[in-house]
Amino acid sequence: MTERLYQADAYLKTFESTVQVLTEEGVILERTAFFPTGGGVQGDEGTLAAGGESWRVVETVERDDHIVHRLDRPGPPAGTALAGTLDWERRYRLMRHHTATHVLCGVMFNDWGVKVTGNQLTPEKGRVDFSFEAFDRAVLEEGFRRANALIAQDLPVRISFISAAEAAGRPELFKLESGFRHHLEQLRLVEIVGFDVQADGGCHVASLKEIGALALTKSENKGKANRRVYFVLD
Ligand SMILES: [Zn+2]
β-strand partners of 21: 28
Give pTM, 2 decimals: 0.93
How much distance in Å is there from the Cα of 132 to the middle of ligand 1? 22
How much distance in Å is there from the Cα of 225 to the middle of ligand 1? 24
pLDDT for residue 39: 87
How much distance in Å is there from the Cα of 58 to the middle of ligand 1? 23
How much distance in Å is there from the Cα of 100 to the middle of ligand 1? 9
Contacts of 128 (CB under 8 A, 6+ apart): 101, 104, 105, 116, 118, 119, 228, 229, 231
How much distance in Å is there from the Cα of 8 to the middle of ligand 1? 14
How much distance in Å is there from the Cα of 181 to the middle of ligand 1? 12
Write down the mean pLDDT value for the chain: 92
If we measure between CA atoms, which residue out of 135, 131, 137, 99 comes closest to residue 116?
A: 131
pLDDT tens sequence across 147-171: 999 999 999 999 999 988 888 888 7
223 conformational bin, left if phi > 0, alpha if psi -120 to 50, beta if neither: left
Per-position b or e across 1-31, b if 16+ CB within 10 A of its CB: ebebbbbeebeeeebebebeebeeebbbbee
How much distance in Å is there from the Cα of 98 to the middle of ligand 1? 6
How much distance in Å is there from the Cα of 27 to the middle of ligand 1? 26
How much distance in Å is there from the Cα of 16 to the middle of ligand 1? 25
Residue type at position 26: G
pLDDT tens sequence across 55-108: 999 999 999 889 999 999 999 999 999 999 999 999 999 999 999 999 999 999
Q: At what angle do helices 88-112 and 137-152 cross, to 10 degrees?
A: 120
How much distance in Å is there from the Cα of 23 to the middle of ligand 1? 29
How much distance in Å is there from the Cα of 32 to the middle of ligand 1? 19
How much distance in Å is there from the Cα of 179 to the middle of ligand 1? 8
pLDDT for residue 203: 96
Of the listed ranges 61-65, 171-175, 185-189, 201-205, the one predicted with least confidence = 171-175
How much distance in Å is there from the Cα of 52 to the middle of ligand 1? 36
pLDDT for residue 207: 96
How much distance in Å is there from the Cα of 73 to the middle of ligand 1? 32
pLDDT for residue 177: 52
The SS3 call for residue 216 is: strand
